[in-house]
Amino acid sequence: MPELPEVEVIRQGLAPHLKGLKIIAIRCSEKPLRTPVPYNEMRGELLGQTITAVHRRAKYLIVRMDSDAAIIIHLGMTGNMGIFAKNSDPQKHDHVYWELDNGTELRFNDTRRFGAVRLLEAGSRKTLEKQFFAATGPEPFSRSCSARYLNKRAASRKIAIKKFIMDSHVIAGVGNIYANESLFRSKIHPDRAAASLSAKEWQRLLEVIRKTLKDAIECGGSTISDFVDASGRGGYFQINFQVYGRAGRTCAICGETIIKKNIGGRASFICPGCQKQP
């Protein structure tokens, strides 16, 4: 599943090529996504409108229009966005096409169709967007996501630290891959209670989360199975994995064998030497 770095990489790839272009036609496949595609509503709101920006919030892409309307796109497990020549052959799993006034199309491709497209109408866009993200925590790079904030949110919480930092209500966009890597690099066992971390440990963990996400963005994300960026290129951060997907292999830091454990329904990779059992 694309996580924050992968979505940010796609955003960075799309933004400079979409800004200032006008949507002149919209097409959809007949196959449903996770939620129905608002085809007729998009035609009414977006045709003739110019794209002003492409933003990201958590793991969502937000494409804004000059009318103040916007579309929010979630990539699901296998979704991707790309820009193609209008007359180029569509791919098997292309589901939404936004034709632009420069002879190209923005296309949403999703093999498993767990992604979603939501329209925010111009007249109520600000209210709808605020409601949509009301329960979403701060961005990990934002000033509001401080060690003090995380320490306060974790107070009295017995939940495993890995589940805690993956909770989008607490902090936005830290998925399974980067939670595993960040906890290893901070020498924190993923089963440890969130409330047990000291202020110093929270500061260190937040710094590591930010660096891990930043490094992944610079590497174009992580390609585990079929992730590609907006230009069709795979990311290569996976070559930097120190624990994720390395069960049974030797830890490069201490020489212990990395183990795999299920925590909160997600695969967790742990070095018993570097991440001591709580």
Which residues form the catalytic set?
2-3, 59, 266
- Cβ proximity of 57 and 167 under 8 Å: no
- Cβ proximity of 160 and 176 under 8 Å: no
Q: Which residue has tokens 């967790």?
A: 268
255: region left, alpha or beta (phi > 0 left; psi from -120 to 50 alpha): left
CA–CA separation, 242 vs 17, rounded Å? 35
Both tokens of residue 196? 């047990």
Cα 88 to Cα 79, 96, 103, 169, 259, distances in angstroms: 19, 15, 11, 41, 46
CA 268 to chain centre: 19
Q: Which residue has tokens 């320490």?
A: 151
List beta partners, residue 54. Answer: 63
